[in-house]
């Protein structure tokens, strides 16, 4: 009798343990795609996220760098369809899906000061509270947004004023506001997927493009353009998301573990980027000594800055009250971090 009772007690405990195991400790493999190579900024973020998830759970993250599953638009579609669990897509492309995300292309909106910029991304109400609702409408759980570096133009001719961009077919990411922005800068904007940019410059179908310095260096844009011009008009923003249904189906413990991994990767990527802009310029100059790198003076920037008001107006036209609310909140968030 006693033996039987003992047996049953042990059995119940074992079943209870197994049940607990199934609800919180099933080891899953989650797929995460991004728009860059493994050793570029989005890839470094993804690797840190993977390391954190795998150190703090039994789950595994499978990484898919740029090109392995198609272009940016493809990986977004795969995430919305639930084929991928995580995706990094920059608002440059998401702006076609979520018009309010184009706010990141109003020129001279984000601060140049790195500390203020980082504080903005950490604390912004627009980013942390308003954008998640807009992404959720597209089946996406917005996990974070982070900056990837000051954007500079690479062109075949020198650029000191908007007049120098006249007749220049300038590649932009595929969102309408970026088209407005480069029209206001005096260029002929040409929206293209990333995969078409190097060949387009090589064959002279386009004569310019913009990107952060690390990307200009790593993707060898200096091989197909001769001038780099930094007008201080923007910092490249990106965003990491999960498929909403997938995320909602996770245990609260796994959701918290994922958010903690995102937070660790966020800190890591800000640290990683310290000095990266200048190091990348140095690498470009070492690879191609006759490349011309120009940082426009305040006076030279003024006509580019003057175009910001018309781009802002175009943003409000495209997005109405919802876009205005985001823009106003972003301005309040930016004022709060300005020193």
Query: What is the contact surface with ligand 6CS in residues (CB under 6 A)?
Result: 35-36, 72, 90, 148, 173, 194, 211-212, 215, 236
* Residue 236 or 247 having the CB closest to ligand 6CS: 236
Shortest separation between residue 217's beta carbon and ligand 6CS, angstroms: 11
CA 96-317-88 angle, 5° bins: 25
Q: Which helix (H) or strand (E) holds 45?
A: helix 41-56
Please state, in angstroms and rounded to a whole number, the distance separating the CA atoms of residues 200 and 156: 12
CB-nearer residue toward ligand 6CS: 76 or 250: 76
Nearer to ligand 6CS (CB atom), residue 215 or residue 222: 215
Of 67 and 320, CB closest to ligand 6CS: 67
DSSP secondary structure, 110-138, as one string: S-SSHHHHHHHHHH-HIIIIIHHHHHHTT
Q: How far is the CB of 29 from ligand 6CS (least distance, A)?
A: 25
Q: Give the residue from 219, 228, 204, 208 showing the smallest Cα distance to 285.
A: 228
Strand pairing class (235-243; 140-155): antiparallel
226: three-class secondary structure by DSSP: coil
Q: At closest approach, how far in Å is the CB of 90 from ligand 6CS? A: 6
Q: How far is the CB of 266 from ligand 6CS (least distance, A)?
A: 17
CA separation (Å) from 313 to 177, 181, 308?
A: 10, 11, 9
Cβ neighbors of 314 (< 8 A, separation 6 or more) are 177, 180
Output 6 or 220, the one with its CB closest to ligand 6CS: 220
* Closest distance to ligand 6CS from the beta carbon of 41 (Å): 7
d(CA 44, CA 37): 9
Tokens of 19: 């049940």
Q: Which is nearer to ligand 6CS, 200 or 212 (CB)?
A: 212
Minimum Å gap between C-beta 151 and ligand 6CS is 8
How far, in Å, CA of 292 to CA of 231, rounded? 14
Looking at the Cβ atoms of 90 and 124, the one nearer to ligand 6CS is 90
CB of 133 to ligand 6CS, least distance (A): 25
């Amino acid at each position: 009798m006693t033996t039987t009772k003992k047996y049953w007690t042990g059995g119940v405990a074992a079943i209870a343990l197994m049940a607990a195991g199934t609800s919180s400790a099933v080891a899953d493999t989650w797929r995460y795609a991004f728009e860059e190579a493994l050793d570029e900024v989005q890839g470094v973020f993804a690797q840190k996220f993977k390391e954190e998830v795998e150190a703090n759970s039994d789950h595994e993250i499978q990484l898919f760098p740029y090109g392995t599953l198609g272009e940016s638009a493809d990986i977004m579609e795969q995430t919305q369809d639930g084929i991928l669990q995580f995706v990094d897509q920059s608002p440059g492309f998401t702006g076609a899906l979520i018009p309010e995300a184009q706010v990141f292309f109003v020129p001279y909106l984000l601060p140049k000061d790195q500390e203020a910029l980082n504080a903005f991304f950490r604390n912004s109400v627009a980013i942390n509270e308003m954008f998640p609702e807009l992404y959720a409408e597209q089946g996406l759980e917005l996990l974070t947004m982070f900056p990837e570096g000051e954007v500079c133009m690479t062109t075949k001719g020198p650029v000191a004023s908007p007049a120098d961009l006249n007749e220049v077919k300038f590649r932009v990411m595929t969102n309408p506001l970026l088209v407005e922005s480069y029209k206001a800068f005096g260029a002929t904007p040409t929206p293209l997927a990333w995969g078409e940019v190097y060949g387009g410059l090589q064959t002279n179908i386009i004569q310019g493009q913009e990107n952060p310095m690390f990307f200009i260096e790593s993707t060898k844009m200096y091989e197909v353009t001769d001038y780099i011009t930094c007008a201080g008009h923007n910092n490249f923003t990106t965003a990491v998301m999960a498929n909403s249904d997938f995320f909602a189906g996770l245990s609260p413990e796994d959701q918290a573990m994922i958010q903690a991994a995102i937070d660790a990767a966020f800190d890591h990527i800000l640290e990683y980027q310290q000095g990266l802009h200048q190091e990348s310029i140095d690498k470009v100059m070492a690879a191609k000594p006759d490349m011309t790198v120009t940082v426009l003076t305040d006076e030279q920037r003024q006509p580019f800055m003057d175009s910001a008001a018309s781009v802002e107006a175009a943003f409000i036209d495209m997005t109405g009250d919802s876009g205005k609310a985001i823009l106003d909140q972003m301005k309040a968030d930016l004022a709060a971090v300005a020193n």
